[in-house]
Structure 1
């Protein structure tokens, strides 16, 4: 077995040729091979080469908080096409990332496709298959009958197609073959074997490496340290050295944004859950508490970014920190998902899977609920989570949202009813809307469809929308208000603040007043039906009545 070359980031950049297709393993700041990407950007500024690159990112590379990621490549002439599950995002007041400026100024062809589908595409490429046939993205902006995932007018509609198999319509994503895979790990030995002991997740490193290697391409791995040859535990090697062509050493690489290293994220330490700080008393906490009431002990639940990310912390405060098994698209299973810059990681995870394997669970509906955010909801139950005209860089894109919602049995969207400057008081008696937000999030038609409400009804999925002032459910007859917060006027604060007619349930009830009180709410969780079946079976096995 040949020893692998250990290069500087700038020297590794010299391996890239004009017109190459790069694929990059990252999730914002998590696992981002930032030094290698910086080396490519530096080479281009010095030499005007490589030119005309295509860059593929199943999840975003970099963020707006210090890890540049794809922005190292976002130079006219260097980057011709980008295909990504998500893009760097951040506050609307900040300067947009360079990649967003290129997209908006029609300087680069840009696609936004579901993250899970992009991971599956790499597996298809590695096996020399033509692409991925899937239901993910059907009826949304990803569908070729809509935008086909295109992010500007420069971008051609030439990757996703509509196919009929038997009597069913499917989306077909044509394979994109990478010339170079850029991945990241913690340790490489002299032969290129890679371990990920300090990482929050291996993400898609193995699948990206297979895709490049099996098609005659190169694999470049950025690592924190180098070990002597064959000294690594083979059970812990996630990417074998036979796939790796070059290693770039960066001893200062961040574990994720704002975190140099936390062993509780990488599963090397179990920290007491009591160490997690309580969630501040706020409108967001009220919504998270109401969403928590949808869950049951023993469930497997997916979680998205935004207000819903508070739900695990609400459960932890209520003494149910381990009652639900959380699954994140980045790979963490179990534990308590973390907030802010560390979102995508969990404290005390039970397992850390590859992202592609996690998406097999998610696309196949191997979980009970998903808790997600929304930007807009329309009269047909459609949700927009990825597109804000004139403020596009505030959002990350579709990410795993479409993969998750395509088959999730129950979907809980969580967010505020209105947007903009507002004054809403929350207290033990409920809500007091002193000054409402100027913009309603309930619009006649969403700016772009990330989730198709009518398809969800046909699939038999249960969909509810939890806001601070009411709870709504998607029903065949329309979106229906089922609960209202105490202190809220139904006509003035709910029906009149929607830009389309809402229905009202015949058994409209008040949201539980305990949601609005500071301090513990005394939450109890029912047992998940599958858990009850196991209890009955165990009773039958020992002679007890079922």
Structure 2
């Protein structure tokens, strides 16, 4: 029996010039730091190995020189294929200065390419990256002028556009685990994530390459149970025990947290509450889009605050939060622990999670935005002179059913004051984020429109939605003046300006009763019935159809009201300030069709939103229903023989009647 345990220097001595090296790690977690340090040490002392190709998924470092940031020394690398460059800024700088070749590919694509390499396949077919900078019709994922080889190709498969990503064979894999036996069997009981360790090891092994595993400890031969072994010893060439132990921290900010590794469960009530600032306002507004019983992904930065809001508002049990790194359920962690989850339901491999995402498993994602333009394109990969990289952004944003982009309205020094339920801009940010044209397209608004993907953009002071003509301003925070606080700080004007007020509860430092909104527990309050005139009023002002179940809930409330009336009713519906997700108009029209068949004698509806009128008219026409949607309440009322105020006599207006509900 071969004992595979050696020291780090002995393992790194086996790497040759021009080798293709891959490493595990996600942001600041699960990084084989001792191996990176030993590789840096050997190169600094001997000048070898030289001209390596580095392949990695997410960023693996602290942005200050640790992790893959150790590999910045000139001559050590000649090429980098990565989803994220932001965690190794000196390597990114070398790429920007044309000192090394570089490709910035989607994180999920690289993750899945490990499997293609392991299986001996030439590459990967995927729609991920179409119409972004990864598309060869734009940049093909190349980050500089000296990068010439095309590793992304546009292909036609049965009349549909696909991208083919070429696989790069791997010579050396750096992976990480908690325990190893002398034969190299690896377990991950104290790791926050499993990532792609198995696929990376298999890719290197099947190419005749070298697999080096960093571990915390060596255990007795045969003591690991078969199902505990995440990487079998047949794939592992060398085992290195991290020395000193700090080289094997769970992440750069946490030595070890058993709640993140799934070894214990902790009370979530004890988790700290976010202060009421701009970040919390953004997270609170984004949380109103959460789909009960749905699967959600949250990005880093402002979006990861949504997990805290879900916990504060006690809605975590009604949604499943996930990360692209493989965490399913629980309370997603932020900061240095981003990517992991406390009290997770499961932790799966990263490439498997991207299979789930790419196949349409996500109901909603909330992601950050560095730049956004008039067409709804978003840039998070290259801006302000920095090569940051896309990470998992492209996979996630393209394949989620609905998308919320979240971030401050401006950047660099923004200060706000939140008091008495209003927002005040104390100091404006130095940089505009809403620009005429983004520097790089990481998300294509046009492609999203082609696929009827619902997209909104949430900031601390306002909310936009994506329409066929570009961005529409739909909500403004209380205390914010459009002409003073919004339009002067954008490089374009939204296509339509007819916003409603953002939900005021967001701006008070107290519970919002978010669960009632997400579960539509008070939807019945929006319905009232005038028995004398046989008119049912439905006030949907400010209400959003975010998911199919919202329509189901509304239909049930309406059916209950009509059944209580005991006969067919004439309905007037106020859609002013409401929103229907782009892909749900037909479902909403189907609900109207059902009500016409079973409960309505007639119905009229109105909204000042030209976009909603157009979309609803299209949906109604497809189902053979009367398509007209009025612009004014008076027009809708007159169509039912009411006066301009919605009355045939001295009775309450439709809106006031909606405030006096008929009861559950």
TM-score range, shorter chain: over 0.9
Cα-Cα RMSD: 1.9
Q: Does the residue aligned with 1:148 lie in a helix, a strand or coil? A: coil
Deviation at 1:262, TM superposition (A): 0.2
Number of aligned positions between the proteins: 523
Out of 128, 131, 140, which is 1:136 matched to?
Answer: 128
Q: Please list every run of 5 or more consecutive structure 2 residues that lacks an aligned counterpart in the other structure.
A: 520-546, 554-664
Contact 2:277–2:416, Cα closer than 8 Å, also in 1? no
Out of 377, 391, 410, which is 2:402 matched to?
Answer: 410
Q: For residue 21 of structure 1, what is the aligned residue in structure 2?
A: 20
**1:269-348 alignment runs, 5 A limit:** 269-348=264-343
Query: Is 1:267 aligned with 2:262?
Result: yes
Contact 2:354–2:395, Cα closer than 8 Å, also in 1? yes
Q: Does the residue aligned with 1:503 lie in a helix, a strand or coil? A: coil
Bigger mean CA offset, 487-496 vs 341-350: 487-496
Q: 1:355 to 1:44 in 2, by over 3 A?
A: same
Q: Does the residue aligned with 1:256 lie in a helix, a strand or coil? A: coil
Query: Aligned partners of 1:492, 1:37: CA distance in 2, in Å?
Result: 51
Contact 2:27–2:338, Cα closer than 8 Å, also in 1? no
Relative contact order higher in (CA < 8 Å, ≥ 6 apart) = 1
1:111-158 per-position Cα deviation (integer Å, ceiling 9, x unaligned) = 111111001111111111110111111111111111211222222242
Contact 1:141–1:448, Cα closer than 8 Å, also in 2? yes
Query: Is 1:514 aligned with 2:505?
Result: yes
Query: Is 1:101 aligned with 2:96?
Result: no
**1:377-526 alignment runs, 5 A limit:** 377-392=372-387, 395=388, 397-504=389-496, 506=498, 508-524=499-515, 525-526=517-518
1:198-228 per-position Cα deviation (integer Å, ceiling 9, x unaligned) = 0010111000011111111111100000111
1:224-254 per-position Cα deviation (integer Å, ceiling 9, x unaligned) = 0011111101111111111001001014311
Query: Aligned partners of 1:429, 1:348: CA distance in 2, in Å?
Result: 34
Deviation at 1:317, TM superposition (A): 1.0
Q: Does the residue aligned with 2:200 lie in a helix, a strand or coil? A: helix
Q: For residue 83 of structure 2, what is the aligned residue in structure 1?
A: 85
Q: For residue 41 of structure 1, what is the aligned residue in structure 2?
A: 40
Larger Rg: 2
1:80-119 per-position Cα deviation (integer Å, ceiling 9, x unaligned) = 1111111244xxxxxx733123223222111111111001
Bigger mean CA offset, 42-51 vs 420-429: 420-429
Query: Aligned partners of 2:414, 2:119: CA distance in 1, in Å?
Result: 53
Larger helix fraction of residues? 2
Query: Is 1:362 aligned with 2:357?
Result: yes
Contact 2:288–2:518, Cα closer than 8 Å, also in 1? no
Deviation at 1:476, TM superposition (A): 0.7
Q: For residue 239 of structure 1, what is the aligned residue in structure 2?
A: 231
Q: Please list every run of 5 or more consecutive structure 1 residues that lacks an aligned counterpart in the other structure.
A: 90-95, 535-546
Q: For residue 541 of structure 1, what is the aligned residue in structure 2?
A: none
Deviation at 1:505, TM superposition (A): 5.4
Query: Aligned partners of 2:170, 2:386: CA distance in 1, in Å?
Result: 31
Q: Does the residue aligned with 2:193 lie in a helix, a strand or coil? A: coil
Q: Does the residue aligned with 2:258 lie in a helix, a strand or coil? A: coil
Contact 1:424–1:432, Cα closer than 8 Å, also in 2? yes
Q: Does the residue aligned with 2:27 lie in a helix, a strand or coil? A: coil
Deviation at 1:437, TM superposition (A): 2.1
Q: Given the two structures, how large is their TM-score scaled by the length of structure 1? A: 0.92
